[in-house]
Structure 1
Amino acid sequence: MVLAGGLAACGTVQQLSAADKVSKAFGKLGDGKTFKVELSVEATADQLVSFGKATGDPIERPAAEALAGLSLAVSVSADRPLKEFGAVKKGELDKLADDKSLALEYVLAGKDGKVYADMRQVDAKTYLKIDAEGIAKLAGEDPSEVRAMADEMPAELKVFKDALAGKWLTFDPKLLQELNKAPKGKSSTPSATPSVDPKVAEDLMNSVKDVFSRNLTFDDKGTKDGLDHVVVSAPARGLVNDLLKAFKPLSKDVPSFGKLPTAAPTDVPDTKIGVDVYLKDGALSSVTFDLAQLDEKAGPGVHLPVKAAFSKDAAAPQAPTGATEIKTSDIESIMTSFAKGPGGNGVTPAEPLTDAQIKELARSGMSEAQIKMMNAGGLGYQDIKDMLALKS
């Protein structure tokens, strides 16, 4: 682990021992075939209201009550140890959409167990169920507006009425990939994914290790109730500044890194911050952090704790029964509905494209699904052709 590797360069024996504990605990996360992490707001409604008042961004009591205890759980289950999946190790779960050997689930829920959203990937199919009215309440909006929206939807948008009614939907992830397929244009070529020279990557890793060795401290707080407690601390502004300097040399290899700031944003506090790490039998149990540490306006006595709880005993996500399938025609229907606008008004409907026109336009690299949706949205053959010409 980079943290422990950095401390190996310099640090006390106690720090090295504590860092080694944390390093090994994180390293064990991918040993099993299942894994679950649950991110939760541990702050009470009173703490949320106090934090909002102190930082100048008030939080209404109803919203604070809803946010207190809110959690997002992510579960992963596979037919082999997770560490064997490269995408899992890199946190690139979106690249696993076509992998039938792995199942995923994301659940957004309240402290009372109320589920606001549940998304699953099982056998390379995606399933989704939302509590639209509950989410509206969570956002401080009027849930009656959700009901009104559902009532106004025409019959051809049944799949979306089902979604607002809290029913399960399902779709093939390839549908989204098809809709997001970018047109190549006449003279353009596919852009290659930026690659980093192995030597540059090695230098970056060494630089990051050096940053951690100079900034991080690991303090072993002992054991209580079967949990080992380690506090990881660092000066916030100094750590961010040093990490930015470490990543800067990569800007010529990865263009997006060139957009990174040259110094820590002014709202990063110039104080030491700490993260509490809890281990059970050498495995990572939970990590807690007080977000109030990141805002100097919070002041003494103001706290906003959040927690990440880890488990390797998660139940495998299952495919729900009776889910309504979303098809390309459903997407086209909602595009047509938006084009018409409330009461059937809106843009002037375009002349339907012929099969020959669709095939001709598709030679640009744009998918037929995209072309049909643009036509349903009010764009005619020449409109789409002109747009593609601008992209070439």
Structure 2
Amino acid sequence: MESKKPLGEAGEDDFVGMAMKFSTPDGDLLEYRVIGDYAYVRADAESLGKAMGTPMPPADELPEEAGAFKKVLEGEWVKFDYKALEKAGQEELGEEAGASAEPSLDPKTQKKLLEALREVVARDVEFTTAGGEDGTEHISATAPFRTLITDLFGEIRPLSKELPPGVELPTAADLKDAPDSKVTADFTLKNGELTEVYVDLAKLTENAEVKKFGLGLKLSGGTKPTAPAGATELKPEDLMGAFAGAVAPGDEEFTEGEFPEDGEFPVEGTE
């Protein structure tokens, strides 16, 4: 991620580039970049479909109206103007084009939420530190999971009227079945800068089939996000055309009021 300002001070308009990649030991599944007004996507559609349990159709089976969307299924880079796509989506839903963005938190509410978080962390979390070689420092933060999230939402609940419309906070009753085992997050710092965070997610369930399931986040200098060369532009109408051809030829069509026998649908995955 690239920002005009330090990430802790940056607002939405300060981010000028972002790159994200999802991979497995067998290769890359999905790569996504945002540079300026354009988003860029490349995917291994076949492997991604298998991983999600939803097989992707071959590119040559899509209708001509799908246009550049076929490039997605062929594993090539495509790009689209995400603002134009958002506008098209609003028009498709019958919303007024150019509608204002969803309301966000005002600075005063953000400050109150941050103070609430600090109070809960100071009260519920135990910290231990250990020094290492070459300016390395290790910090462990341990807390009972249910207690931590219950107290956190308890502090936030008085601010619920200041949150954007539609935000619903879980009640204490909703959280009562959350595991209350102690969870530890390990932080590694190098010369005062955070370089790695590690959490054992197996601690969050009382019936884990594995003894340890680690989630690690490593931070480094990174590389400058750049636009990939040769990306094919994907228009909003290409996406609409691809979805319009999602039902393969030969599938039965049902008019309103008609249902197949035994409640079974011929299109796989339909509910």
For Structure 1 versus Structure 2, the TM-score category normalised by the shorter chain is: 0.7 to 0.9
Larger radius of gyration: 1
* Distance of aligned partners of 1:162 and 1:289 in 2 relative to their CA distance in 1, 3 Å threshold: same
Aligned twin of 1:91: none
Q: CA deviation at 1:233?
A: 0.8
Are 1:102 and 2:16 an aligned pair?
Answer: yes
Q: More strand by proportion, 1 or 2?
A: 2
Output one character per residue of 1:142-179: Cα deviation in whole Å (capped at 9) or x when no partner.
Answer: xxx54x53332233324222211101111111222212
Output one character per residue of 1:119-141: Cα deviation in whole Å (capped at 9) or x when no partner.
Answer: 11123211110001121343466
Equivalent of residue 269 in structure 1, options 176, 179, 182? 179
Distance 2:145 2:191 in 1: 30
Equivalent of residue 199 in structure 2, options 263, 269, 289? 289
* Distance of aligned partners of 1:205 and 1:259 in 2 relative to their CA distance in 1, 3 Å threshold: closer
Partner AA of 1:329 in structure 2: E
* Distance of aligned partners of 1:322 and 1:183 in 2 relative to their CA distance in 1, 3 Å threshold: same
Q: CA deviation at 1:84?
A: 4.8
Q: CA deviation at 1:234?
A: 1.0
Aligned twin of 1:126: 39
Between the two proteins, the alignment pairs up a number of residues equal to: 250
Output one character per residue of 1:58-103: Cα deviation in whole Å (capped at 9) or x when no partner.
Answer: xxxxxxxxxxxxxxxxxx124554445223xxxxxxxx5xx7x711
Are 1:325 and 2:233 an aligned pair?
Answer: yes
State TM-score, norm by structure 1: 0.56
Does the 8 A contact of 1:236 with 1:268 survive in 2?
A: yes
Q: More helix by proportion, 1 or 2?
A: 1
Aligned twin of 2:264: none
Distance 2:137 2:156 in 1: 33
Aligned twin of 1:85: 10
- Structure 1: 5+ residue runs without aligned partners? 1-75, 88-95, 349-392
Which SS does the other structure have where 1:176 is aligned?
Answer: helix
Distance 1:287 1:280 in 2: 12
- Structure-to-structure mapping, 1:66-215, within 5 angstroms: 76-79=1-4, 81-87=6-12, 102-111=16-25, 114-139=27-52, 145-146=55-56, 149-181=58-90, 183=94, 193=103, 198=108, 204-215=113-124
Does the 8 A contact of 1:252 with 1:258 survive in 2?
A: no
Distance 2:169 2:160 in 1: 8
Are 1:342 and 2:249 an aligned pair?
Answer: yes
Distance 1:125 1:191 in 2: 18
Moved more, 265-274 or 169-178: 265-274
- Structure 2: 5+ residue runs without aligned partners? 256-271
Q: CA deviation at 1:105?
A: 0.7
Output one character per residue of 1:202-229: Cα deviation in whole Å (capped at 9) or x when no partner.
Answer: 5554443322221011101221565311
Does the 8 A contact of 2:201 with 2:215 survive in 1?
A: yes
* Distance of aligned partners of 1:290 and 1:332 in 2 relative to their CA distance in 1, 3 Å threshold: closer
Aligned twin of 2:224: 316
Which SS does the other structure have where 1:248 is aligned?
Answer: helix
Identity %: 30
Which SS does the other structure have where 2:68 is aligned?
Answer: helix
Aligned twin of 1:38: none
Q: Indicate the RMSD between aligned Cα atoms, in angstroms.
A: 3.2
* Distance of aligned partners of 1:346 and 1:322 in 2 relative to their CA distance in 1, 3 Å threshold: farther
